[in-house]
Chains A and B, each alone.
Chain A
């Protein structure tokens, strides 16, 4: 149907499922980190605005930026392998705001460091820096959501003709706002969970620690209620062919969607009852389930158009094996380094 505009895809070196699985796993990790980062920043901003600033969890914001960006790279790599012919096209259409993600992200990152470093010496400047960083991250998130949405909607690619200079924002996409809000609200929720985790492993005194953990878990709970509403709104703005997939159209997809709902209810229970460990596990599971649901939704959108199984496999496995080997070595190196950090004597001598 869209043969005249969907570019021809290139070949892949190994079976597409490798990339599919790696995409899910790495995107999941990226989402967790991103939620901690974005949610954590926004919640901290909220605390600033309501006069309740706590610096304990927020000292890690710059490190979170580093890790979130780093874990954004593998999913970006793998979607280009599987969906590159779609993704590059949508990127070009949104070229100007898309490329602005880079300088804005750099400034956001520096803003995070300014927030931490100047919190003592220039508190107002430090707070403004965090606000700036949060707004920047909101923009980055918006563009990522936007681009990934446009990529799977070739029927909207006519916007290119409106402005081939890349000054497009795809605001006419009906799912854009609810989808974006769904991600931001998720970030707030998991961000609150993240703060609870940070408190749990901090060196605060037990009473205050417990209070903070409960507070953040409750926050996670309330946000989950809002998320249920936003999620439903988002669900209903999707084309019928897509939401029908999750309403009996596909058994697996429906089961996962139901699981997602159930997990949300369980989260409500554990957060409002202050159960930290279940909340943490359920939160993680919920993100994983939603990541897979997102992927299934993408497939549903592209049903008549494209599926990664259609990519031609040229069967060159040795680079994959080398990667897996390097990955294992890398894991050992990380383990070793972190262990070194904990076990090393705490002074120079």
Chain B
């Protein structure tokens, strides 16, 4: 942003640096090791009075000079040129900090040049002792120049104490200085041996050739042990983050790790030919081949070093973008373009989003990415929507910590997303289609307060059950809606009826054949390992059937109802009729209606390009599912997409444990909630409730609006109970701190409803949930003097969960108050009172059963004491929902 950017949309500056640098580094290492090779071999030749060997040294000196002084020397300047062009900010930083390091190195260069020139031009024209002194001097100065550049190069990867002190010596003698120096010295000696083969192969005398080859073999293999040991030492001094990214997380490194392994095997394997008799043409070929492999080896090593350093160009100090970490805060508040110098656009507005995005992309992203060439952005971004790109930029550098964070304001982020989506991908954003809100007519079941003998209450256990609805590719939520019911015989002391009753349930018309709208039954064997009859759920229940008596209530588990009506209307609130019959006579004792909320309005498509699967209004499109699996495979090294395409889709919980599905998962893998929330929190930060609405069907502009009860009505949102997605994720990840991915996912998250991360309790999903009594301490309507949120104040145990709790007499809380997220009187998109049918049936008011001191609903008489829980009576009228 400080400097103009060399615009290279196809090639990319990084590739140019790589080409020049790799060529230079191979030759320059040769320049060091070869110097020792020359003088040591000369010494041997002189001692053994071997004039043929001496002649070889002379020839090799000339070859050596031509290669190292000309190509090696100028290409070194070439690196300087190219880094100044591609990353002037970093180059300037290095120059201004290490100018005297380079000045010192220059002294060594001039001494190298002079010594080598004399060594070559006076070969055979000087006495041996003087000549060899020059040879030694050359090597010493060459090694010293390696010493210097090694310090600066190492500084970039591990600046050590320099970050605090800014001191030259702290920066120069940094943590990776020593391992890198020994490592590179070993390489120098090995390369000296390899290049020695080239001149050797061209010798005319066969015996001489073999003897030179044997000599070179020593140079190739003896330093190998040191190379391997210091290589290991080297990997231990880089930061843990660098190590993790290089060897595990950053997929960019894979081909280079392969390259170095293969090159090593080839180099040290094929190198053995030096010890075998063979014809000269083969020896020449072998020598050249080994030289080529050296370049491959160096390419692998140097790329690995560069990748280990990402996202920084000077670790911990300056990002590859040329932006210093210390500048990030001001850029994020004032704006990147406002602070950038070489931009045509200073301010971003809705009108110039793609143009501003193009500028930001050029100034900030093109240092590493091309548009269409190496490491191109176009092919990497096809799987995200425009909103997804914005989310991706929000999370950039947090999970994929080998990338820098995005530098800029929110609108600048949207500008880049707009540029990538609309210009590079050539797409345009359209709003997802929404099911028209239809007010289905209600037929409230009859109830006579004077004569009816029973009150039958029923509810869904969660207030909403979602389905992942693309079983062809994966499943994490099957069709599985659970209904509960309690039957009370009315009287001054009502009786909870637990036995002698057949509790039937039946779904309304239009929902009778869920198997027509879902692939669940096609893939149940692969995903769940069971072959279910069509239309039957995982607990053996269909959409019509009988509930099971279970303790103090009746339960029908995992009813496989789908939100898809036969007339192609999306209706996430299918209505069930619950009928209680006498177990022996079959006489109808009571009847009521209940909603089994079930939605496939999953928000994945908001970010993962694709769309809706079903009638263009709900479900997960194949394209979205594919894009999701692609990301998962890339980050985790899985083959989920291939497996699905081979007809074997998986259950996410087969790896990710989940109490909701009673899944044990696999050891060492985050549980499902931790993984989902932990991962996505990084991309949906700073959004409060909007983050929840991005994925869950609670979007107030969506087809479901599942958060629809009393709390929603008065503005108590998701985050007031659950915390923001960041808080949510931090709690879950804290509980899995033994898994290393937890650290990667939580590192970039900042708590919102807590002051510090340590304050957030490690949380088990589905078990440690909001406790109503955090706010309703004394069961009053509004907080009992409590202000704040219910976040982090979880229920003490499973039995204290809202859906598990009863009052003092075994009446389930939900029976009177309604389902979670749909507390009476709830407001339903598909008929205002659709959720409130029981309160309307029993008391004509859409509020808590027994509201307005109307204990007569069950008790048939007025009551004077708060029997079910404290503070029931004699207070301000509770709010109800009125048409």
Is there an interface contact between A323 and B104, defined as CB atoms closer than 8 Å?
Answer: yes
CA distance A109 to B75 in the complex (A): 12
CA distance A109 to B114 in the complex (A): 17
Q: Which residue of A has the minimal Cβ distance to B115? A: A337
- Residue of A72, A88, A316, A322 near B84 (CB, 8 A) is A88
Is there an interface contact between A348 and B70, defined as CB atoms closer than 8 Å?
Answer: no
Q: Which residue of B has the minimal Cβ distance to A321? A: B100
Given contacts A5-B341, A165-B8, contact A316 B167 (CB under 8 A): yes
Q: Which residue of A has the minimal Cβ distance to B69? A: A66
- Residue of B80, B92, B127 near A349 (CB, 8 A) is B127
Given contacts A13-B168, A77-B103, contact A348 B128 (CB under 8 A): yes
Given contacts A102-B78, A165-B8, A327-B107, contact A344 B131 (CB under 8 A): yes
- Residue of B8, B92, B110 near A70 (CB, 8 A) is B110
Is there an interface contact between A109 and B74, defined as CB atoms closer than 8 Å?
Answer: yes
Mark out the residues of chain A between 124 and 175 whose CB falls within 8 Å of any chain B CB in the assembled complex: 157, 160-161, 164-166
Is there an interface contact between B100 and A13, defined as CB atoms closer than 8 Å?
Answer: yes
A24 cross-chain contacts in B, Cβ below 8 A: none
Is there an interface contact between B168 and A316, defined as CB atoms closer than 8 Å?
Answer: yes
- Residue of B6, B69, B70, B96 near A166 (CB, 8 A) is B6
> Does A330 lie at the interface of the complex (its beta carbon under 8 Å from any beta carbon of B)?
yes
User: What are 11 A-B pairs at a CB distance below 8 A?
Assistant: A10-B96, A12-B99, A13-B100, A66-B113, A76-B77, A92-B5, A98-B81, A102-B78, A165-B7, A347-B127, A349-B127
CA distance A113 to B169 in the complex (A): 41
Is there an interface contact between A89 and B88, defined as CB atoms closer than 8 Å?
Answer: yes
Given contacts A13-B168, A98-B85, contact A81 B342 (CB under 8 A): no
CA distance A157 to B341 in the complex (A): 12
Is there an interface contact between B77 and A326, defined as CB atoms closer than 8 Å?
Answer: no
- In the complex, identify which listed stretch (B117-125, B238-246, B384-392, B746-754) lies at the interface while the others stay far away: B117-125
> Does A250 lie at the interface of the complex (its beta carbon under 8 Å from any beta carbon of B)?
no
A80 cross-chain contacts in B, Cβ below 8 A: 84, 91-92, 95
CA distance A343 to B118 in the complex (A): 13
CA distance A320 to B80 in the complex (A): 21
A333 cross-chain contacts in B, Cβ below 8 A: 111, 137, 141
A4 to chain B, nearest CB (A): 6
Given contacts A91-B85, A95-B6, A102-B81, contact A109 B70 (CB under 8 A): yes
Is there an interface contact between A89 and B169, defined as CB atoms closer than 8 Å?
Answer: no
CA distance A314 to B168 in the complex (A): 11
Mark out the residues of chain A between 306 and 342 whose CB falls within 8 Å of any chain B CB in the assembled complex: 314, 316, 318-320, 322-323, 326-327, 329-330, 333-334, 337-338, 340-341
Mark out the residues of chain B between 95 and 154 whose CB falls within 8 Å of any chain A CB in the assembled complex: 95-97, 99-104, 106-111, 113-115, 117-118, 122, 124-128, 130-131, 133-134, 137, 141
Mark out the residues of chain A between 14 and 53 whose CB falls within 8 Å of any chain B CB in the assembled complex: 19, 22
Given contacts A164-B4, A319-B101, contact A88 B20 (CB under 8 A): no
> Does B66 lie at the interface of the complex (its beta carbon under 8 Å from any beta carbon of A)?
yes
- Residue of B6, B20, B66, B100 near A102 (CB, 8 A) is B20
CA distance A344 to B104 in the complex (A): 29
B3 cross-chain contacts in A, Cβ below 8 A: 7, 88-89, 92
B115 cross-chain contacts in A, Cβ below 8 A: 337
A319 cross-chain contacts in B, Cβ below 8 A: 99-101, 168-169
> Does A255 lie at the interface of the complex (its beta carbon under 8 Å from any beta carbon of B)?
no
> Does A196 lie at the interface of the complex (its beta carbon under 8 Å from any beta carbon of B)?
no
CA distance A62 to B83 in the complex (A): 27
> Does B782 lie at the interface of the complex (its beta carbon under 8 Å from any beta carbon of A)?
no
Mark out the residues of chain A between 65 and 86 whose CB falls within 8 Å of any chain B CB in the assembled complex: 66-67, 69-74, 76-78, 80-81, 84-85
CA distance A160 to B362 in the complex (A): 14
B107 cross-chain contacts in A, Cβ below 8 A: 323, 326-327, 329-330
A69 cross-chain contacts in B, Cβ below 8 A: 73-74, 77
> Does B780 lie at the interface of the complex (its beta carbon under 8 Å from any beta carbon of A)?
no
Is there an interface contact between B341 and A6, defined as CB atoms closer than 8 Å?
Answer: yes
- Residue of A160, A329, A345 near B4 (CB, 8 A) is A160
> Does B448 lie at the interface of the complex (its beta carbon under 8 Å from any beta carbon of A)?
no
> Does B268 lie at the interface of the complex (its beta carbon under 8 Å from any beta carbon of A)?
no
Given A161-B344, A316-B167, A318-B169, 15 more A-B residue pairs with CB atoms under 8 Å apart are A10-B92, A67-B113, A69-B73, A70-B110, A77-B95, A92-B88, A99-B81, A105-B77, A316-B166, A319-B99, A323-B100, A327-B103, A341-B118, A341-B122, A348-B131
> Does A273 lie at the interface of the complex (its beta carbon under 8 Å from any beta carbon of B)?
no
Q: Which residue of A has the minimal Cβ distance to B129? A: A344
B531 to chain A, nearest CB (A): 62
Is there an interface contact between B102 and A77, defined as CB atoms closer than 8 Å?
Answer: yes
> Does B2 lie at the interface of the complex (its beta carbon under 8 Å from any beta carbon of A)?
yes
B101 cross-chain contacts in A, Cβ below 8 A: 319
A73 cross-chain contacts in B, Cβ below 8 A: 77, 106, 109
Is there an interface contact between B7 and A166, defined as CB atoms closer than 8 Å?
Answer: yes
B871 cross-chain contacts in A, Cβ below 8 A: none
Is there an interface contact between B92 and A85, defined as CB atoms closer than 8 Å?
Answer: yes
B877 to chain A, nearest CB (A): 65
Is there an interface contact between B77 and A13, defined as CB atoms closer than 8 Å?
Answer: no
> Does A272 lie at the interface of the complex (its beta carbon under 8 Å from any beta carbon of B)?
no
CA distance A91 to B126 in the complex (A): 45
CA distance A238 to B294 in the complex (A): 52
Q: What residues of chain A have their CB less than 8 Å away from a CB belonging to chain B?
A: 4-13, 19, 22, 63, 66-67, 69-74, 76-78, 80-81, 84-85, 88-89, 91-93, 95, 98-99, 101-102, 105-106, 109-110, 113, 157, 160-161, 164-166, 314, 316, 318-320, 322-323, 326-327, 329-330, 333-334, 337-338, 340-341, 343-349
CA distance A164 to B134 in the complex (A): 48
Q: Which residue of B has the minimal Cβ distance to A316? A: B168
Q: Which residue of A has the minimal Cβ distance to B123? A: A348
- Residue of B88, B99, B124, B131 near A81 (CB, 8 A) is B99
Q: Tell me the number of A-to-B contacts counted with CB atoms below 8 Å.
A: 208
Is there an interface contact between B100 and A84, defined as CB atoms closer than 8 Å?
Answer: no
> Does B328 lie at the interface of the complex (its beta carbon under 8 Å from any beta carbon of A)?
no
A12 cross-chain contacts in B, Cβ below 8 A: 96, 99
B117 cross-chain contacts in A, Cβ below 8 A: 63, 66
Is there an interface contact between B5 and A330, defined as CB atoms closer than 8 Å?
Answer: no
> Does B301 lie at the interface of the complex (its beta carbon under 8 Å from any beta carbon of A)?
no
Is there an interface contact between B109 and A70, defined as CB atoms closer than 8 Å?
Answer: yes
B723 to chain A, nearest CB (A): 41
> Does B82 lie at the interface of the complex (its beta carbon under 8 Å from any beta carbon of A)?
yes
B111 cross-chain contacts in A, Cβ below 8 A: 330, 333-334, 337
> Does B71 lie at the interface of the complex (its beta carbon under 8 Å from any beta carbon of A)?
yes
B8 cross-chain contacts in A, Cβ below 8 A: 165
Is there an interface contact between B341 and A7, defined as CB atoms closer than 8 Å?
Answer: yes
Q: Which residue of B has the minimal Cβ distance to A157? A: B4
Is there an interface contact between B127 and A348, defined as CB atoms closer than 8 Å?
Answer: yes
Is there an interface contact between A345 and B130, defined as CB atoms closer than 8 Å?
Answer: yes
B211 cross-chain contacts in A, Cβ below 8 A: none
B89 cross-chain contacts in A, Cβ below 8 A: 7
Q: Which residue of A has the minimal Cβ distance to B168? A: A319
Is there an interface contact between A77 and B106, defined as CB atoms closer than 8 Å?
Answer: yes
CA distance A76 to B77 in the complex (A): 10
A348 cross-chain contacts in B, Cβ below 8 A: 46, 124, 126-128, 131
> Does B332 lie at the interface of the complex (its beta carbon under 8 Å from any beta carbon of A)?
no
A156 to chain B, nearest CB (A): 13
CA distance A6 to B2 in the complex (A): 8
A4 cross-chain contacts in B, Cβ below 8 A: 341
Is there an interface contact between B69 and A160, defined as CB atoms closer than 8 Å?
Answer: no
CA distance A91 to B4 in the complex (A): 10
> Does B93 lie at the interface of the complex (its beta carbon under 8 Å from any beta carbon of A)?
yes
Is there an interface contact between B91 and A164, defined as CB atoms closer than 8 Å?
Answer: no
Given contacts A66-B73, A88-B3, A102-B20, contact A322 B104 (CB under 8 A): yes
Given contacts A164-B5, A319-B101, A348-B127, contact A91 B84 (CB under 8 A): yes
Q: Which residue of A has the minimal Cβ distance to B82? A: A99
B141 cross-chain contacts in A, Cβ below 8 A: 333
Is there an interface contact between B4 and A74, defined as CB atoms closer than 8 Å?
Answer: no
CA distance A76 to B46 in the complex (A): 42
CA distance A337 to B141 in the complex (A): 12
Q: Which residue of B has the minimal Cβ distance to A80? A: B95
A106 cross-chain contacts in B, Cβ below 8 A: 70-71, 74-75
